[in-house]
Amino acid sequence: ADIRESAALRVLEEALSRGAMAVYHDPLMPTLTLAGNTVASVDLAETDLAGLDAVVLLTPHTSIDYDRIVDAARLVIDTHSGLQPRQGANIVNIWVPAPAVPAPVLS
């Protein structure tokens, strides 16, 4: 609910400020206001994923049809491990797994 520190928001703002033609999908945020402009979340079912240069996964949502994205998109960049353990020629995983936490030593 609190998007002030959202990395996804910063990425979208940066892409748009650099002139990219970018859209977003977020089932929890139907609209956003960026630099005074209101933008609306796109419907994934109606979006031509194959026509996009890339799909960047920035926020894990359990309601997203990731299989549809992987099947349709030319390039999928996963930043949050949402696709794990999926692999494919069009998938780039750039997330860093959390370090293993050592088991406590019992005395």
DSSP state letters, 29-77: -SEEEETTEEEEPPPGGGS-GGGSS-EEE-S--TTS-HHHHHHH-S-EE
What Rg do the C-alpha atoms of the chain give, in angstroms?
A: 16
Report the alpha-carbon distance of residue 25 to residue 38 in Å, rounded.
14
Report the alpha-carbon distance of residue 61 to residue 84 in Å, rounded.
13
Tell me, what's the pLDDT at 69? 93
Tell me, what's the pLDDT at 71? 93
CB distance 29 to 38 below 8 Å: no
Going residue by residue through the chain (107 aa), what tens digit of pLDDT does each one get? 566 677 888 888 888 889 888 999 988 889 988 877 888 999 998 899 999 999 999 888 888 889 999 999 999 999 888 788 788 899 998 876 666 677 677 76
